[in-house]
Structures are given as C-alpha cells and as structure tokens.
Amino acid sequence: MGIADKETRNVPTLASIAERVGVSVNTVSRALRAPNTVRVELRRRINAAMEELNYVPNRLAGGLSGTRSDIVGVVVTSLYYSEFASIVDTLQSALLEQDLQVMLANTRYNPDQEVRLVRSILSWRPAAVAIIGVDHPPKVVELLKASGIPIIEMWDVGGEVIDTAVGMDHASIGAAQATHLIAEGYARLAFVGSLRENDRRAQKRLRGAETAVVAAGLPEIVRLTTQQNGSPDLGERLTHELLEQHPEVDAIVCNSDVVAFGALRALKRSGRRIPGEIGVLGFGDNEASSCVSPSLTTVRPDRERIGKLTAEAILARINDGAPKTTVVDWELIIRESTRRRDSQNQ
C-alpha cells in the first residue's frame, strides 16, 4: 500500500491536464508561467484540474527546456557539531524567498569527495554554487570555472578567489586570539584540536597566531593536533597529553569550542585553576560556550551574516552583478576562561 505498481504509476503531466480541460499543452504551461495571458475562467478550470490530479511540474523537463534552473548547489565541509549548519540554514531560507532550491553536499574535508560532489552538483545545472573555503583541489576550480555560473566561496577570503567570496580573514582571527592571551599575561601557548590537512582555515588561524607570538618574542606555539573530528572527548584526551608532555604551557587555543569544552574538563580534573594557572580559548562560539564554567572565551563568526550575504551575492551574480569579495567581521568574545585582569565586565 502507498506505492502504486510501477505499471500503473501514472504521474500527471501537462498533457493530462490539457486533455482533461480540453486545451493545448502550451496553454496549461502558460497558466503556470504567465497566468495573465490566459483567460481568468479558463485559468480557474486549469488550476482546478491541477489541484484535483495533484499535478507537480517536472523540473527536469522544465530545466532542460527553459533557460534557467532554480537549484543552488551548496558544498560544505562538515555539518556535524553544527559548524556550518546555521550558515546553510539562513542561506536556504533566504534563497527560498526567490524560489531557489538548495542541493546540499558534504565533503567531510575529503578533497576526492569534493571533486566528486562538485561534479555531481554541476550535473544538475544549478544557477549558482556556494562552497565553503577558497582552497580547493585544482580540478574543482577548473570545473567550477568551466561551468560558467556564479560561484560564491564562503567562510574564508584569504587567497585566490574563483569568482565571489563572502568570509572572514582567518589569519587575523588567529592573531587576535594570540594577542589577547599575551595581553592577559600568558606566555607559553599551545594549539589543540583537530587540524585536518584540508582545513585551510584552521591552518590560517594557527599561522596568524604563530606570527603574533613570534612578534611578541615568545617561544613557538606547541601543537597537539589530529585529523579526527573535533569533540569534547578529543579535547580532553589531547589536553591530558599536553599537560604531560608540555607542563610549561599556560594557555590553550582550541580549534573549536567543543574541543575547548573537553579541555576545560581535563584541566579541572587535573586541578588546574582557570584562568589563573592556565587559560583556554575556543573558536566558533558554540551555543553552550557561555554556559560552561568557567565560561569560554571564544571567537564568534557571524554565521547568519555570512549566510545572508551569500544569498545576496548569489542573487546579485545571477542578475549579472559584478563579482565582489566581502570580508565579514567576527568578534572576540572575552569570557572567564582567559580573563585574569578585572578590566572588563560581561
């Protein structure tokens, strides 16, 4: 039950409607696409027939015949732990208002998958593609360029842009993280968390921090990273390792807030005072970061703004606007986990 036999499965087409109403196929098509060119009364009968037969237009046919598609391909590197979920969320709802449908792909930081997924998405002849990052395998760049459609790169802006980008300057984020810790009197920094080979954004942040540390005449940042997914358990495990191997460290920059949650847990279990003995700083401003104790200092990317600006950029480019790269602001949210001085209140 529920599924009709394949033989009898008879999805209505424009022709079914046309036959039922007694007009030509094209008139029915017009009733949909240019309603004011069809008599009111006839239009009413056509709409009634469509409603009655539960007609759903076939966009495969429409897209093939017509000139424009209304798919927007969205390629993210992860969805888990909500890293890009809220960007997709706002982007999708903004596009929906223009009747654009999101087709989603998740590369999970795998460049081979990225090539495959981009190819797959392009095969649907989307009106535009939005993709996380500005660093892609050469084949991806080639395919996207050859497609001739607007390409919006999100989240990052540093580097070679294909067409249009909406993102943050990650090097400056890393610099701000380090600078803040140094200003609070921390001197031996560590970077902890997942640092995937293909997560160029994290690498840029780390390099930005490194530069600030060097400029301050402090010793190099200790790195304890893996290719795995970030999680509290990972943060806890790496932090324990760190305490053992590098007892001199007095501040930890985590690649994401969820990793920082684990770091806090590990430090508390080891009896370290935060922020007195050791500071912890995250990235991403997870919804729980203001609720853990001590509350977590972190960087808040304006995800909604990125989603919204991406939608706007897509629409602008579809309507022949010029390519444009927009740098989106972020905010260092200073909370308890790094605040040694009493200078600020929040």
Partner DNA sequence: TGGCACAAAGTTAACGGTAACGCAACGATC
Partner DNA sequence: GATCGTTGCGTTACCGTTAACTTTGTGCCA
Selected binder of a second copy within 60, 217, 342, 346 (CB under 8 A): 60
Q: Which is nearer to DNA, 123 or 346 (CB)?
A: 123
Residue 145 interacts with a second copy (CB under 8 A): yes or no? yes
Least distance (Å) between residue 148 CB and a second copy = 4
Token readout for 90 is 């706002």
Report the run of H or E that residue 210 belongs to, with start and end.
helix 200-215
How far is the C-alpha of 88 from the C-alpha of 102, rounded, in Å? 9
Total residues at interface with a second copy (CB under 8 A): 76
Which among a second copy, DNA, none contacts residue 175 (Cβ within 5 to 8 A by kind)?
Answer: none
146 binds, among DNA, a second copy, none (CB under 5 to 8 A by kind): a second copy
Side by side, the strands of the sheet bearing 251-254 are 222-226, 189-194, 251-254, 279-281
Q: Measured between alpha carbons, how far is 229 from 195 in angstroms, rounded to an integer?
A: 9
Task: Answer with the entry of DNA, a second copy, none that 25 interacts with (C-beta below 5 to 8 A by kind).
Answer: DNA
**Per-residue x/- marks for a second copy, 211-250, CB under 8 A?**
--------------------xx------------------
Place of tokens 């140094």: 182
Asked if 186 and 97 count as a contact pair (C-beta separation under 8 A), the reply is: no
Min dist CB 241 to a second copy, Å, is 18
Site for a second copy in 104-133 (CB under 8 A): 104-106, 108, 113, 117, 119-125
Contacts of 269 (CB under 8 A, 6+ apart): none
**Nearer CB in complex with a second copy: 102/332:** 102
Q: Give yes or no for residue 280 binding a second copy (CB under 8 A).
A: no
Quote the least distance from Cβ 50 to a second copy, whole Å. 11
Contacts of 262 (CB under 8 A, 6+ apart): 231, 232, 233, 234, 235, 236, 237, 238, 239
Q: Is the dihedral of CA 28, 33, 36, 40 positive or negative?
A: positive
Out of 173, 190, 258, 313, the residue judged to bind a second copy by CB under 8 A: 258
